[in-house]
Structure 1
Amino acid sequence: MVTYAVALIGSVILFFLSHHHTIITNVKQLNIASVTMGLAIIFIEFGYILCYKAGWSAGTTAVTVNMTMTIILIPIVILVFHQGFTVRNAIGVLLAIVSLVLMNS
Protein backbone atom coordinates (compact mmCIF):
# COMPACT_ATOMS: atom_id res chain seq x y z
CA MET A 1 0.00 0.00 0.00
CA VAL A 2 2.90 2.32 0.72
CA THR A 3 4.15 1.86 -2.85
CA TYR A 4 0.79 2.90 -4.31
CA ALA A 5 0.43 5.79 -1.86
CA VAL A 6 3.82 7.11 -2.98
CA ALA A 7 2.75 6.68 -6.61
CA LEU A 8 -0.46 8.62 -5.92
CA ILE A 9 1.37 11.46 -4.21
CA GLY A 10 3.94 11.56 -7.01
CA SER A 11 1.18 11.62 -9.63
CA VAL A 12 -0.56 14.52 -7.91
CA ILE A 13 2.70 16.47 -7.70
CA LEU A 14 3.43 15.81 -11.38
CA PHE A 15 -0.10 16.88 -12.27
CA PHE A 16 0.39 20.26 -10.64
CA LEU A 17 3.83 20.69 -12.19
CA SER A 18 2.78 19.83 -15.73
CA HIS A 19 -0.82 21.02 -16.19
CA HIS A 20 -2.18 24.50 -16.67
CA HIS A 21 -5.77 23.46 -16.00
CA THR A 22 -7.41 23.01 -12.63
CA ILE A 23 -8.38 19.65 -11.18
CA ILE A 24 -12.05 20.58 -11.65
CA THR A 25 -11.50 21.12 -15.38
CA ASN A 26 -9.77 17.76 -15.70
CA VAL A 27 -12.43 15.93 -13.69
CA LYS A 28 -15.11 17.33 -16.01
CA GLN A 29 -13.19 15.87 -18.98
CA LEU A 30 -13.00 12.36 -17.51
CA ASN A 31 -14.50 9.50 -19.46
CA ILE A 32 -14.93 5.76 -19.03
CA ALA A 33 -11.52 5.11 -20.58
CA SER A 34 -9.75 6.64 -17.57
CA VAL A 35 -11.68 4.52 -15.10
CA THR A 36 -11.21 1.39 -17.21
CA MET A 37 -7.47 2.01 -17.48
CA GLY A 38 -7.24 2.43 -13.71
CA LEU A 39 -9.02 -0.88 -13.16
CA ALA A 40 -6.79 -2.59 -15.72
CA ILE A 41 -3.69 -1.33 -13.91
CA ILE A 42 -5.02 -2.70 -10.62
CA PHE A 43 -5.62 -6.14 -12.13
CA ILE A 44 -2.23 -6.18 -13.88
CA GLU A 45 -0.47 -5.31 -10.63
CA PHE A 46 -2.47 -7.98 -8.80
CA GLY A 47 -1.33 -10.44 -11.47
CA TYR A 48 2.30 -9.49 -10.82
CA ILE A 49 1.83 -10.09 -7.11
CA LEU A 50 0.32 -13.52 -7.78
CA CYS A 51 3.18 -14.42 -10.15
CA TYR A 52 5.80 -13.46 -7.59
CA LYS A 53 3.98 -15.41 -4.86
CA ALA A 54 3.93 -18.44 -7.17
CA GLY A 55 7.71 -18.22 -7.47
CA TRP A 56 8.17 -16.62 -10.87
CA SER A 57 11.45 -14.86 -11.50
CA ALA A 58 11.43 -11.07 -11.23
CA GLY A 59 13.63 -10.96 -14.33
CA THR A 60 11.19 -12.69 -16.65
CA THR A 61 7.78 -11.93 -15.17
CA ALA A 62 7.50 -8.37 -16.48
CA VAL A 63 8.56 -9.34 -20.00
CA THR A 64 6.19 -12.30 -20.02
CA VAL A 65 3.25 -10.23 -18.78
CA ASN A 66 3.88 -7.36 -21.22
CA MET A 67 4.21 -9.63 -24.25
CA THR A 68 1.16 -11.64 -23.25
CA MET A 69 -0.91 -8.48 -22.72
CA THR A 70 0.14 -7.17 -26.12
CA ILE A 71 -0.84 -10.42 -27.83
CA ILE A 72 -4.20 -10.48 -26.01
CA LEU A 73 -4.95 -6.85 -26.92
CA ILE A 74 -4.34 -7.29 -30.67
CA PRO A 75 -7.83 -8.63 -31.49
CA ILE A 76 -9.42 -5.91 -29.36
CA VAL A 77 -7.47 -3.18 -31.16
CA ILE A 78 -8.39 -4.63 -34.55
CA LEU A 79 -12.08 -5.10 -33.76
CA VAL A 80 -12.81 -2.07 -31.59
CA PHE A 81 -10.43 0.55 -32.95
CA HIS A 82 -10.32 -0.74 -36.54
CA GLN A 83 -6.55 -0.56 -36.77
CA GLY A 84 -4.78 -2.56 -39.42
CA PHE A 85 -2.71 -5.68 -38.92
CA THR A 86 0.15 -6.10 -41.38
CA VAL A 87 2.47 -8.96 -42.22
CA ARG A 88 5.13 -7.13 -40.24
CA ASN A 89 2.81 -7.15 -37.20
CA ALA A 90 2.16 -10.88 -37.66
CA ILE A 91 5.89 -11.59 -37.76
CA GLY A 92 6.30 -9.57 -34.55
CA VAL A 93 3.55 -11.56 -32.84
CA LEU A 94 5.12 -14.85 -33.92
CA LEU A 95 8.51 -13.73 -32.60
CA ALA A 96 6.90 -12.69 -29.31
CA ILE A 97 5.22 -16.08 -28.95
CA VAL A 98 8.46 -17.92 -29.74
CA SER A 99 10.36 -15.79 -27.22
CA LEU A 100 7.69 -16.45 -24.56
CA VAL A 101 8.01 -20.18 -25.13
CA LEU A 102 11.82 -20.06 -25.04
CA MET A 103 11.98 -17.81 -22.01
CA ASN A 104 9.52 -19.82 -19.94
CA SER A 105 10.65 -23.34 -20.86
Structure 2
Amino acid sequence: MTAYFLPVALIVVSNIIYQIAAKSVPSTLNPFASMIITYAVGTVVSVMLYFLFNKGGNLLQEYQHLNWAPFVLGIIVVGLEVGFIYAYKAGWPVSTLSIVQSAFLAVALIVVGCLLYSEAITWNKIVGIVFCVIGLVCINQ
Protein backbone atom coordinates (compact mmCIF):
# COMPACT_ATOMS: atom_id res chain seq x y z
CA MET A 1 0.00 0.00 0.00
CA THR A 2 2.86 2.40 0.83
CA ALA A 3 4.48 1.73 -2.56
CA TYR A 4 1.18 2.77 -4.15
CA PHE A 5 0.51 6.02 -2.26
CA LEU A 6 4.03 7.20 -1.42
CA PRO A 7 4.83 8.25 -5.00
CA VAL A 8 1.57 10.24 -5.16
CA ALA A 9 2.43 11.96 -1.88
CA LEU A 10 5.90 12.77 -3.26
CA ILE A 11 4.31 14.24 -6.41
CA VAL A 12 1.84 16.35 -4.42
CA VAL A 13 4.41 17.70 -1.95
CA SER A 14 6.93 18.33 -4.74
CA ASN A 15 4.27 20.06 -6.85
CA ILE A 16 3.27 22.36 -3.98
CA ILE A 17 6.89 23.40 -3.48
CA TYR A 18 7.36 23.61 -7.26
CA GLN A 19 4.42 26.02 -7.67
CA ILE A 20 5.68 28.22 -4.83
CA ALA A 21 9.19 28.28 -6.34
CA ALA A 22 7.93 28.92 -9.90
CA LYS A 23 5.80 31.83 -8.69
CA SER A 24 8.80 33.17 -6.73
CA VAL A 25 11.19 33.37 -9.71
CA PRO A 26 12.04 37.08 -9.90
CA SER A 27 10.10 38.84 -12.65
CA THR A 28 13.33 40.49 -13.77
CA LEU A 29 15.05 37.12 -14.31
CA ASN A 30 14.81 35.58 -17.76
CA PRO A 31 13.02 32.21 -17.37
CA PHE A 32 15.64 30.44 -19.47
CA ALA A 33 18.45 31.75 -17.25
CA SER A 34 16.45 30.38 -14.32
CA MET A 35 16.19 27.00 -16.07
CA ILE A 36 19.97 26.77 -16.42
CA ILE A 37 20.33 26.96 -12.63
CA THR A 38 17.31 24.70 -12.11
CA TYR A 39 18.69 21.93 -14.28
CA ALA A 40 22.25 22.29 -13.00
CA VAL A 41 20.93 21.73 -9.48
CA GLY A 42 18.66 18.95 -10.74
CA THR A 43 21.60 17.23 -12.42
CA VAL A 44 23.72 17.34 -9.25
CA VAL A 45 20.85 16.04 -7.11
CA SER A 46 20.05 13.29 -9.63
CA VAL A 47 23.66 12.10 -9.71
CA MET A 48 23.82 12.07 -5.93
CA LEU A 49 20.53 10.18 -5.60
CA TYR A 50 21.53 7.71 -8.32
CA PHE A 51 24.63 6.68 -6.41
CA LEU A 52 22.86 6.82 -3.02
CA PHE A 53 20.14 4.40 -4.14
CA ASN A 54 22.36 2.29 -6.45
CA LYS A 55 25.45 1.36 -4.47
CA GLY A 56 28.14 0.51 -7.02
CA GLY A 57 25.89 1.70 -9.86
CA ASN A 58 27.36 2.27 -13.30
CA LEU A 59 25.90 5.20 -15.24
CA LEU A 60 27.52 4.11 -18.50
CA GLN A 61 25.76 0.75 -18.25
CA GLU A 62 22.49 2.51 -17.47
CA TYR A 63 22.82 4.62 -20.59
CA GLN A 64 22.95 1.50 -22.74
CA HIS A 65 19.20 1.24 -22.07
CA LEU A 66 18.36 4.71 -23.39
CA ASN A 67 15.61 5.30 -25.90
CA TRP A 68 14.02 8.50 -27.21
CA ALA A 69 11.98 9.24 -24.07
CA PRO A 70 14.60 10.92 -21.81
CA PHE A 71 15.62 13.22 -24.66
CA VAL A 72 12.02 14.27 -25.31
CA LEU A 73 11.43 14.67 -21.56
CA GLY A 74 14.41 17.01 -21.42
CA ILE A 75 12.88 19.21 -24.09
CA ILE A 76 9.31 19.04 -22.84
CA VAL A 77 10.13 19.67 -19.21
CA VAL A 78 11.64 23.02 -20.22
CA GLY A 79 8.29 23.88 -21.85
CA LEU A 80 6.46 22.94 -18.67
CA GLU A 81 8.74 24.93 -16.40
CA VAL A 82 8.92 28.03 -18.59
CA GLY A 83 5.17 27.85 -19.27
CA PHE A 84 4.43 28.03 -15.55
CA ILE A 85 6.92 30.86 -15.01
CA TYR A 86 5.47 32.90 -17.90
CA ALA A 87 1.92 32.21 -16.69
CA TYR A 88 2.79 33.49 -13.22
CA LYS A 89 4.50 36.54 -14.76
CA ALA A 90 1.28 37.14 -16.73
CA GLY A 91 -0.64 37.29 -13.46
CA TRP A 92 -2.14 33.85 -12.98
CA PRO A 93 -2.87 33.18 -9.31
CA VAL A 94 -1.09 30.20 -7.77
CA SER A 95 -4.48 29.00 -6.48
CA THR A 96 -5.97 28.57 -9.95
CA LEU A 97 -3.23 28.02 -12.55
CA SER A 98 -2.48 24.47 -11.49
CA ILE A 99 -6.17 23.58 -11.30
CA VAL A 100 -6.92 24.99 -14.75
CA GLN A 101 -3.99 23.27 -16.44
CA SER A 102 -4.70 20.01 -14.58
CA ALA A 103 -8.31 19.97 -15.73
CA PHE A 104 -7.30 20.47 -19.36
CA LEU A 105 -4.54 17.89 -18.94
CA ALA A 106 -6.90 15.33 -17.41
CA VAL A 107 -9.31 15.59 -20.32
CA ALA A 108 -6.50 15.45 -22.89
CA LEU A 109 -4.91 12.41 -21.24
CA ILE A 110 -8.18 10.50 -21.38
CA VAL A 111 -8.10 10.96 -25.14
CA VAL A 112 -4.37 10.10 -25.30
CA GLY A 113 -4.95 6.98 -23.19
CA CYS A 114 -7.69 5.87 -25.55
CA LEU A 115 -5.82 6.60 -28.79
CA LEU A 116 -2.28 5.52 -27.88
CA TYR A 117 -2.78 2.90 -25.18
CA SER A 118 -6.20 1.41 -25.96
CA GLU A 119 -7.57 2.48 -22.59
CA ALA A 120 -11.35 2.43 -22.39
CA ILE A 121 -13.36 5.62 -22.12
CA THR A 122 -15.78 4.63 -19.37
CA TRP A 123 -18.82 6.43 -18.03
CA ASN A 124 -16.77 7.35 -14.95
CA LYS A 125 -14.25 9.10 -17.20
CA ILE A 126 -17.01 10.89 -19.10
CA VAL A 127 -18.48 12.09 -15.79
CA GLY A 128 -14.95 13.19 -14.78
CA ILE A 129 -14.64 15.19 -17.99
CA VAL A 130 -18.00 16.87 -17.29
CA PHE A 131 -16.83 17.76 -13.76
CA CYS A 132 -13.55 19.14 -15.16
CA VAL A 133 -15.48 21.38 -17.56
CA ILE A 134 -17.88 22.48 -14.81
CA GLY A 135 -14.90 23.18 -12.55
CA LEU A 136 -13.22 25.28 -15.23
CA VAL A 137 -16.39 27.31 -15.71
CA CYS A 138 -16.76 27.83 -11.95
CA ILE A 139 -13.13 28.72 -11.29
CA ASN A 140 -12.98 31.25 -14.13
CA GLN A 141 -16.09 33.18 -13.09
TM-score > 0.5, shorter chain as reference: yes
C-alpha displacement at 1:69, in angstroms? 1.9
Which position in structure 1 is the counterpart of 2:49? Answer: 14
Structure 1 letter corresponding to 2:114: I
Which position in structure 2 is the counterpart of 1:36? Answer: 72
Which position in structure 1 is the counterpart of 2:3? Answer: none
Return structure 1 stretches of 4+ with deviation > 4 angstroms. none
Paired-residue identity, %? 29
**Structure 2 residues without counterparts, runs of 5 or longer:** 1-33
**Whole-Å separation in 1 of the counterparts to 2:109 and 2:94:** 23
Q: 1:32/1:14 Cα in 2 relative to 1: closer, same or farther (>3 Å)? A: same
**Whole-Å separation in 2 of the counterparts to 1:34 and 1:62:** 24
* 2:110–2:125 Cα contact (<8 Å) kept: no
Q: Normalising to structure 1: TM-score of the pair?
A: 0.84
**Structure 1 residues without counterparts, runs of 5 or longer:** none
Q: Normalising to structure 2: TM-score of the pair?
A: 0.65
1:1-105 mapped onto 2 (5 Å cutoff): 1=34, 2-19=37-54, 21-105=57-141
C-alpha displacement at 1:7, in angstroms? 2.3
Higher relative contact order (CA 8 A, sep 6+): 2
Count of residue pairs the alignment pairs up = 105
Q: 1:95/1:3 Cα in 2 relative to 1: closer, same or farther (>3 Å)? A: same
C-alpha displacement at 1:13, in angstroms? 1.4
